[in-house]
Amino acid sequence: MKYEFTIIVPVYNEEDNLDRVEKELSDYIKIASKKTKILFVNDGSTDKSQQIIEEICKRNEHFNFIQFVKNKGLSAAIKAGFDYADTELVGYIDSDLQTSPQDFNLLLQNIGKYDLVTGVRANRKDSFVKNMSSKIANSIRRAFTHDGMDDTGCPLKVIKTDYAKRIPMFKGLHRFLPAMILLQNGKIIQVPVQHFPRIAGNAKFGLWNRLLGPLADCFAYLWMKKKYINYEVINKS
């Protein structure tokens, strides 16, 4: 079967969400505009997530997984997904399902002439503190990166895989994916997507992760931008 699109699903202690993840992604596969498969990346979960993931993959031919030895963080999980993807397009969605897999079709409509399409969460259903800290963090990142993106933390993205594989990931870089595509002279766009409240499980990011941590990451990004190697091949034999 020739797949065109891989959806990466990072998982860290999400046992209460995984049955719903299976249903919603299975439903999406039936209506996907590209032939789609799912790749769970178990980021060292200590609950029953791995057991549930293996059961899901056994009963669904379009689902696969990789499992980390121990927790390495969201950026590492996304990088692993990029590394293992073998389709022309790759995307990811959080296992808390605060965004809808069905909105991948909105992003895929634009990927033809763009190299990354990211969602921007409309009418966010998060707490006031979380919304405000995210807005502040995004404004700081825009000042550093000039990527023009309003919501780089939105966990719904589609990227051309050859661009994704060239991203030199480090911890925290998942917030800078649009900027890293721009460093490759790629084209990016944002598209409004739905947003829902978290139904089960616990958020993995607090105030430090959303605000103070990303500020430090901005300086790491500036260093990388200065040192980044980009080239184009005009001919080969």
CA–chain centroid gap for 157, Å, is 6
Q: What is the pTM of this model?
A: 0.85
The per-residue pLDDT of the chain, averaged, comes to 87
- Structural contact between residues 5 and 91, judged by C-beta atoms closer than 8 angstroms: yes
Give the pLDDT confidence of 83-110 residue by residue, as tens digits.
Answer: 999 999 999 999 989 899 999 999 999 9
For range 196-211, the mean pLDDT: 60
Boundaries of every domain in the chain:
5-227
Higher pLDDT: 99 or 133? It is 99
Q: Residue 12 carries which DSSP code?
A: S
Determine the Cα–Cα distance for residues 150 and 183; give it in Å rounded to an integer: 18
Asked whether the CA dihedral 153, 207, 21, 9 is positive or negative, the reply is positive
Determine the Cα–Cα distance for residues 25 and 137; give it in Å rounded to an integer: 30
Contacts of 169 (CB under 8 A, 6+ apart): 75, 76, 78, 79, 82
Q: 5-227 maps to which CATH number?
A: 3.90.550.10
Determine the Cα–Cα distance for residues 5 and 128; give it in Å rounded to an integer: 35
Is a pLDDT exceeding 70 seen at residue 80? yes
For range 28-53, the mean pLDDT: 97
Tokens standing for residue 90 = 């790759």
Is a pLDDT exceeding 70 seen at residue 79? yes
CA dihedral (186, 76, 57, 154) in degrees, to 10, reads: -50
